[in-house]
């Protein structure tokens, strides 16, 4: 059931953490990489995977 939302990840979209929490804590859901770039702007914290570019709004 929960695996379906991780099957078709669009790298151009910014996902909300509450809608798509980490499958494995602290790892990218797309490539399982553990390093991220972070930006904080307009009261939003966005985490971007350094390897594949998947973004989540925390």
In which band, very low, low, confident or very high, does the pLDDT at 3 lie, cut at 50, 70 and 90? low
The conformation of residue 4, written as its DSSP 8-state character, comes to: H
How far is CA 10 from its chain centroid? 10
> At 2, is the pLDDT very low, low, confident or very high (cuts 50, 70, 90)?
low
The count of structural domains within the chain is 1
**pLDDT score of 27 more than 60:** yes
Residue 31, class by beta-carbon neighbours within 10 Å (0-12 exposed, 13-18 middle, 19+ buried)?
middle
pLDDT at residue 55 above 80? yes
Give me the mean pLDDT over the 23-44 stretch: 94
Which domain range does residue 49 map to?
4-57
Q: Is the dihedral of CA 39, 37, 7, 26 positive or negative?
A: negative
How confident is the model at residue 4, as a pLDDT?
Answer: 76
Residue of 50, 44, 51 lying closest to 15 (CA atoms) = 44
């Amino acid at each position: 059931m929960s695996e379906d939302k991780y099957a078709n990840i669009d790298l151009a979209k910014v996902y909300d953490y509450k809608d798509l929490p980490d499958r494995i804590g602290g790892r990218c859901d797309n490539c399982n990489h553990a390093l991220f770039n972070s930006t904080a702007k307009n009261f939003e914290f966005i985490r971007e995977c350094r390897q594949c570019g998947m973004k989540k709004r925390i």
